[in-house]
Amino acid sequence: MAEILAVVNQKGGVGKTLLATNISLMLHLKGQRTLLIDGDSQPSASRWMSRREAAGLAAIPLITLSPEESLIKVIEKNQGKYDWIVVDVGGRLQARAIHACSIATLVVAPVIPASEDMDSTQEFIELALRPITRIKSVNAVLAPNCVRPNTILHREALGHLSNLGPAVAESPLGMRAVYQESASTGMGVVELDERGAGGQEIAALFKELTGIKWGKAKRQTAQSA
């Protein structure tokens, strides 16, 4: 049965698709049977995959959910076919986000350490995660993104995150152009800059979330895959 990793937060623009696409790609490159489910009404992950295919790079199995499709039914149908199912759920707290949290092996909530983002994340925890924890245990991690560790504001914000309840990932992502380049090109950060700071950051977070140590990526094309 597949491990289900749901990338969820009601706040938009915090890096959900960045994490979902890159974690999916890294699992795929490590030989894990991986399915990426795009459950966002603005299908950013699907657009990322289209750019990837247009560049001649190996695609990852992808399902783009229509508004009326049931996330839980799609996961149940595919759970026995894959090692990992990664779900990218859009902003706003809707039924699909709550369903993703309820069925996930691990819930990852990207968060930018700024007051409005943390307020939104706290609301997400209170409205989505806590009701589920009354019924079952939920393994959830807050993943800091766009971190500027040398500023007092961000250090204080990171300290505040630890008081929200879920564990805080020890491998934050900084503010780096390579993350934007990943989104715009359909390439993974480890394909663009494996040995650079961005590649090292996302490799560390990948290991922390999946338990799999990242190794050297081999760039694949659609023809060689």
222 is a domain residue: no
Where is mean pLDDT largest: 24-28, 123-127, 214-218, 219-223? 24-28
Q: Assess if residue 220 is contained within a domain.
A: no
- Domain presence at residue 217: no
* Structural domain boundaries enclosing 180: 3-210
Asked whether residue 10 is domain-assigned, the answer is yes
Could you tell me if residue 215 is inside a domain?
Answer: no
Region 107-113: what's the mean pLDDT?
Answer: 90
Which of the four pLDDT bands, split at 50, 70 and 90, describes residue 93?
low
Question: Is residue 74 included in any domain, yes or no?
Answer: yes
> Could you give phi then psi for residue 188, rounded to 5 degrees?
-80, 155
Closest by Cα among 13, 4, 1, 10 to 36: 4
What pLDDT, on the 0 to 100 scale, is given for residue 223? 44
In a domain, 221, yes or no: no
CA 210/CA 165 separation, integer angstroms: 21
Residue type present at position 114: A
State the DSSP code for 125: I
Which CATH number do you get for residue 34? 3.40.50.300
Question: Rounded to an integer, what is the distance from CA 110 to the centroid of its chain?
Answer: 7
Which pLDDT does position 7 carry in this prediction?
95
More confident residue, 205 or 167: 205
Q: Which of 84, 172, 198, 197 is nearest to 189 (CA)?
A: 198
pLDDT band at residue 163, thresholds of 50, 70 and 90?
Answer: confident
pTM: 0.89
Q: Is 159 or 82 the better-scoring residue by pLDDT? A: 82
Residue 197 has pLDDT above 90, yes or no: yes
Return mean pLDDT, the chain.
88
Identify whether 131 is part of a domain: yes
Domain count, the chain: 1
Please write the tens of the pLDDT for every residue from 18-42: 999 999 999 999 999 999 999 988 8
